[in-house]
Amino acid sequence: MSDIAILTEADLRRAVTLGAPVLAAVEEAFRLLASGKVIMPPILSMEIAEANGEVDVKTAYLPGFDHFAIKVSPGFFDNPKLGLPSLNGLMILFSAKTGLVTALLLDNGYLTDIRTAAAGAIATKYLAPKKIEAAAVLGTGAQARLQIIAAHQMRPFSRVLVWGRDRARAEACAEDIAAALKINTEAVPDAAAAVAAAQLVVTATSARKPILRAEWLHKGMHITAMGADQAGKNEIDPRAVALADLYVCDRVSQASALGELRAARAATLMNGTNPPELGAIVAGTHPGRTSETAITICDLTGTGAQDTAIASYAFAAAQKLGIGAKIKA
Q: Is residue 38 within the footprint of its own copies (CB under 8 A)?
A: no
In sequence order, which residues have a C-beta less than 8 Å from that of residue 100 and are 6 or more positions away? 1, 2, 94
Q: Is residue 137 within the footprint of its own copies (CB under 8 A)?
A: no
55, 183, 252, 294: residue in contact with its own copies (rule CB under 8 A): 55
User: Closer to its own copies at the Cβ: 55 or 180?
Assistant: 55
Q: Is residue 1 within the footprint of its own copies (CB under 8 A)?
A: yes
Q: Is residue 302 within the footprint of its own copies (CB under 8 A)?
A: no
Residues facing residue 236 across a β-bridge: 212
- Contact window for its own copies (CB under 8 A) among 22-30, 53-61, 114-122, 184-192: 53-61
User: Closer to its own copies at the Cβ: 73 or 185?
Assistant: 73
Q: Is residue 88 within the footprint of its own copies (CB under 8 A)?
A: yes
Residue 54, φ and ψ in degrees, nearest 5: -150, 160
59, 185, 224, 312: residue in contact with its own copies (rule CB under 8 A): 59
The pairs formed by 79-88 with CB atoms below 8 angstroms and a separation of 24 or more are 85/109, 87/112
Q: Is residue 8 within the footprint of its own copies (CB under 8 A)?
A: yes
Q: Is residue 53 within the footprint of its own copies (CB under 8 A)?
A: yes
Sign of torsion, CA 139 140 146 149? positive
15, 29, 101, 121: residue in contact with its own copies (rule CB under 8 A): 101
CB atoms within 10 A of CB 174: 25
User: Closer to its own copies at the Cβ: 47 or 215?
Assistant: 47
Distance in Å, CB of 51 to its own copies, minimum: 6
CB atoms within 10 A of CB 211: 21
Q: Is residue 117 within the footprint of its own copies (CB under 8 A)?
A: no
User: Closer to its own copies at the Cβ: 266 or 327?
Assistant: 327
Distance in Å, CB of 117 to its own copies, minimum: 21
Q: What is the largest CA-CA distance in the chain?
A: 61
Q: What is the rounded CA–CA span in Å between residue 222 and residue 160? A: 14
Q: Is residue 41 within the footprint of its own copies (CB under 8 A)?
A: yes
Q: Is residue 79 within the footprint of its own copies (CB under 8 A)?
A: yes
Distance in Å, CB of 193 to its own copies, minimum: 38
36, 99, 272, 322: residue in contact with its own copies (rule CB under 8 A): 99
Q: What is the rounded CA–CA span in Å between residue 111 and residue 22? A: 10
Write out the residues near its own copies by the rule CB under 8 A.
1, 4, 6, 8-9, 39-48, 50-51, 53, 55, 57, 59-61, 63, 68, 70, 72, 74-76, 79, 82, 84, 88-90, 92, 94, 96-101, 104, 106, 108, 325, 327-329
